[in-house]
Structure 1
Amino acid sequence: MTQPTDQVTEHGGGVWSLRVPIPDNPLGHTLVHVLDTDRGPVLIDTGWDDPASWNELTSGLAVLGLDVREVHGVVVTHHHPDHHGLSGRVREESGAWIAMHAADIAVVRRTGSAEPGRWLDYLARKLAAVGAPEEHTAPLLAARAAGRMRTLPGLSSALPDREIVPGELLDLAGRRLRAVWTPGHTPGHVCLHLEEAHPAGLPGHGRLFSGDHLLPEISPHIGLYEDPDETTTAADPLGDYLDSLERIGRLGVAEVLPAHQYAFPDAARRVRELLDHHEERLAGLLALLAVPLTPWQLAERMEWNRPWELIPHGSRNIAVSEAEAHLRRLVKQGRAEPLAGTDPVAYQAV
């Protein structure tokens, strides 16, 4: 039996997790799960595309007596670089297939085919439209002019060659792994339900590889789905996320194996906590919207893990996207509305 280490954890029943570091990120690492199948090991996510991360991934596999060339397939919960980053290199070394939900495959394809600088142009326009000050957009425009777009993560991600179909069992010999579509964190995020008895006999229906959808102590970032071609406001990522949470809560799994932090039982309790958290946050935003605010002004006033003036430039972009997603939900619910004639657009509680 594999001996537990700081790097490798055995979860029983042919499932292990490997800690793969994320450079310069407070999350610290991605938990890459290894699932034994009759055709060879399958990875659930792969970690960030970085030499140190690659070394940790391959050395973790070696602890299990595996070589990366033995990997049969890669199932990606979502397209973010701390999950999908090393998938291409794994495929190059092993010939493994890569599977992802169609909505996130579309993101990978769109991002990879974009002309250099297109995303910075889009982000600068988007931020200006929600009320970001010129001193915030200036560095983006400077990066665009200097041609630094090619250095951003995710632009050269591997294009998956298999599509994960929600509700279907994945083609994994000897295992029952069912895809559950859980949009919100990304449009194509999936959780993976291992429909097998828990190896330690915990009560419940199997185990859940939850990616970033369900984490034991933190709520995943829910922002607007980034698409330069979007011309409507139809997407409702927070609404998608809340609906997906309820779907996961009904599965009754015995244990959750997330991509960050640690494994935990009682998914239904954690689902209730997150639903309550977001409802409380929406209520708090409604109180702020007693006066008209742009999305940027709302983000400045929201509660974060540090004061707004200490939040780095890139994290402010993420924060304002989260504010927009919450505004979108309030508008969809009829609890807030944009004020006609405001530019940049301001919102107010109804």
Structure 2
Amino acid sequence: MVTDHGGGVWSIRVPIPDNPLGHTLVYLLDTDRGPVLIDTGWDDPDSWDTLVNGLAGCGTSVGEVYGVLLTHHHPDHHGLSGRVREASGAWLAMHAADAEVVRRTRQAPPELWLDYLIGKLAAAGAPDEHIAPLRGARAAGRGRVLPGGRPALPDREIVPGELADVPGRRLRAVWTPGHTPGHVCLHLEEGRRLFSGDHLLPGITPHIGLYEDPGTITDPLGDYLDSLERIARLDPAEVLPAHQHAFAGAPHRVRELLAHHAARLADLRALIAARPLTPWQLAQAMRWNRPWTELPYRSRNIAVAEAEAHLRRLVTAGLAEPVPGSHPVRYAVA
């Protein structure tokens, strides 16, 4: 399905297989050097056919693509970029922080993600029965299978504050870390339209989870909240997100998301005020879109990462602290 947004901007609904999100909105921006894509969609044969047919519906073809700007490294955005480059010779651009994630993913052995996840969940207090399937997969030599094998390495960098190489247009990069460390939004200054990727969506709260190397300290939720404020100050006339639909009123949507996370932080602090809890116990007690007992296996892992991100924000703000000597670590109010 193709939508003409006017002003030389189209979107193509590229399906995501077996995912409740349904599709990624891949945007085509007409430029003096040919079409530039913002994201590409999941690496899947049906997704590729949809993208190719969608480009034809926009009056062009994949071979004409001049460049690809990637809002972030997740496979529903970055997955097909390698095939687009092969078919067209287009350049691929991504923020340096996410490009580093792609580089390390390509170099890492397949079992590394399983090792990381096993250690992460054990440290968070997950029960043995939850970790057992991961240990079984590790023992059987089954690593993480990435869409399309190895993700494509970008050959250009998106630099925050600078204009992208889209001749005849003024498209400025806005760094919005949180969902990923190198997530960017792209502001089309003529018309004040914002391609927001996953940073700002009309009816979904993006996943903000804690994923970091051992020995590093990050605050992805703090980064995300700061990034939201940046977009509110920008106050675009229209937001063109990667999922759902275009919308206006970015500052209002930002206020909704800030309030959502403030309430979640307050709820979490109230839980650890009653008694010290592990991240797993907090995830069990937090409110999700369905009861904990009905959450699928992978969703529970995501929920734990979100609980950890909220805990890190509380610790960074001096409102919570780990209980000394607790294994797995429990958190209490500071």
TM-score (norm 1): 0.93
Match of 2:166 among 166, 172, 184: 172
1:287 aligns with 2:287: no
1:157 aligns with 2:157: no
Question: Partner of 1:289: helix, strand, or coil?
Answer: helix
Matched ranges for 1:271-310 at <5 A? 271-290=254-273, 291-310=275-294
1:123 aligns with 2:122: no
The one-letter code of the counterpart of 2:251 is: A
Question: Partner of 2:318: helix, strand, or coil?
Answer: coil
Q: Take 2:140 and 2:150, find their aligned partners in 1: how far apart are those partners?
A: 19
The one-letter code of the counterpart of 1:274 is: L
Contact kept? 1:111, 1:154, Cα under 8 Å = no
* Offset of residue 18 of structure 1: 0.4
Contact kept? 1:30, 1:83, Cα under 8 Å = yes
Residue of structure 2 in register with 1:255 after alignment: 238
Query: Structure 1 stretch 154-163 or stretch 94-103: which is displaced more?
Result: 154-163
Matched ranges for 1:323-342 at <5 A? 323-342=307-326
Match of 1:38 among 32, 38, 54: 32
- % identity of equivalent residues: 74
* Offset of residue 144 of structure 1: 1.6
Residue of structure 2 in register with 1:348 after alignment: 332
Query: CA 1:150 to 1:294, structure 2 compared with 1: closer, same or farther past 3 Å?
Result: closer
Q: Take 1:242 and 1:150, find their aligned partners in 2: how far apart are those partners?
A: 31
The one-letter code of the counterpart of 2:315 is: V
Residue of structure 2 in register with 1:26 after alignment: 20
Question: Partner of 2:185: helix, strand, or coil?
Answer: strand
Residue of structure 2 in register with 1:47 after alignment: 41
* Offset of residue 319 of structure 1: 0.7
Q: Take 2:92 and 2:19, find their aligned partners in 1: how far apart are those partners?
A: 25
Q: Deviations over 1:100-158 (max 9, x none)?
A: 00000000001110012011011101110110111111111111222221524486100
Question: Number of residue pairs matched?
Answer: 333
Q: Take 1:237 and 1:153, find their aligned partners in 2: how far apart are those partners?
A: 25
Q: Take 1:33 and 1:92, find their aligned partners in 2: how far apart are those partners?
A: 19
TM-score (norm 2): 0.98
Query: CA 1:331 to 1:340, structure 2 compared with 1: closer, same or farther past 3 Å?
Result: same
What is the CA RMSD across the aligned residues, in angstroms? Answer: 1.0
The one-letter code of the counterpart of 2:270 is: A
Contact kept? 2:44, 2:147, Cα under 8 Å = no
Match of 1:239 among 222, 244, 248: 222
* Offset of residue 65 of structure 1: 1.8
* Offset of residue 230 of structure 1: 3.4
Q: Take 1:186 and 1:230, find their aligned partners in 2: how far apart are those partners?
A: 17
- Structure 2 regions of 5+ residues with no counterpart? none
The one-letter code of the counterpart of 1:101 is: H
The one-letter code of the counterpart of 1:313 is: Y
Question: Partner of 1:343: helix, strand, or coil?
Answer: coil
Residue of structure 1 in register with 2:202 after alignment: 216
